[in-house]
Amino acid sequence: MPVAWLRINGLDDKHKAWISTLVVSGKSKRQGVGTYAVNFAEEYVRAKGFSKMGIHTQADNVAAKSLYEKCGYTVTEYKDGTYPDKTIGKSYTFEKDL
């Protein structure tokens, strides 16, 4: 039974890759699965020659913000954005040197 999945974008750039989606199942939250997934993604793109990883999240996603900060990411941008459901809100961009 899968407990999480993620998608990495930007693999054509060779400088900065992006975790565009990270989902952890409800029963698996707060058990280190998100940290493991982020670390796995970092190792994967580092092995492919990338030097930086970026992640976007909505400002009201407190769990994601906490996870990214715990994993060593820093906020590089905070702005208004339009989400996939067409609502408007604040969003963060996090980045980390690998």
Give the containing element (helix H, strand E) for 81.
Answer: strand 74-82
The 10s digit of each residue's pLDDT in 68-95 is 999 999 999 999 877 777 888 899 999 9
pTM of the model: 0.87
* CATH fold label, 4-97: Aminopeptidase (3.40.630)
Q: Residue 18 pLDDT more than 90?
A: yes
Alpha helices in 17-80 (DSSP H): 33-47, 62-70
pLDDT at 95: 98
